[in-house]
Amino acid sequence: MLVLRVFIVAVLLAGGFAFLRAAWRAIVRARASRSWPEVPAEIVESSTKLIGHYTTYRVRSIWEVEVSYVYAVYGKWYSGHRHRFSIWRFGGMTFEMANEAVARYYPGAHVTVRYDPDHPKESVLEPRADRDGVTTCIMWGTMALLAAAYLPLAEFGAIPRWLD
């Protein structure tokens, strides 16, 4: 039984830190991208994509924007696909929000993108993190770490054992 509890704590710790790392990485990259150089770009393609559903008290569909654009840095052409810094499957938009973005980024539209000066093939249209995705990852990561802390403390009698 002790081996099982140690395994559960290890999984909770790993999962908690993975969620928090994903949120931290999105925030750091979004902040760093605000100081990246800007260049003109042209939208090649844009569309919405249904990425999933979740249920609270009602079913909600989660959408994302798929966009492709081209830009040049010192005469060399690059293509980009990043709308903003998001965390796969944990963010997303409503259908209306996604359609608004697609309306702004229609094929042939001239926009400004920011690119990483150290890696010019890395670029972003909107230099910000997906708020819903970051919030979800912070919430799940914190809950996993709290659960990982609870199990050993309950085992040694430091706090009441609610789950037995």
Tell me the pLDDT tens digit for each residue of 32-88. 999 999 999 999 999 988 877 766 666 677 788 899 999 999 999 999 999 888 776
Specify the pLDDT at position 56. 64
Q: Is residue 41 part of a domain?
A: yes
Q: What tens digit of pLDDT does each residue of 94-152 get?
A: 788 888 989 999 999 999 999 999 999 999 999 988 777 788 889 999 999 998 888 87
Residue 84 lies in a domain: yes
The tally of domains found in the chain comes to 1
- Three-class SS string for the chain? CHHHHHHHHHHHHHHHHHHHHHHHHHHHHHHHHCCCCEEEEEEEEEEEEEEEEEECCCEEEEEEEEEEEEEEECCEEEEECCCCECCCCCCCECHHHHHHHHHHCCCCCEEEEEEECCEEEEEECCCCECHHHHHHHHHHHHHHHHHHHHHHHHHCCCCCCCCC
Domain of residue 121: give its range.
2-155
Asked whether residue 162 is domain-assigned, the answer is no
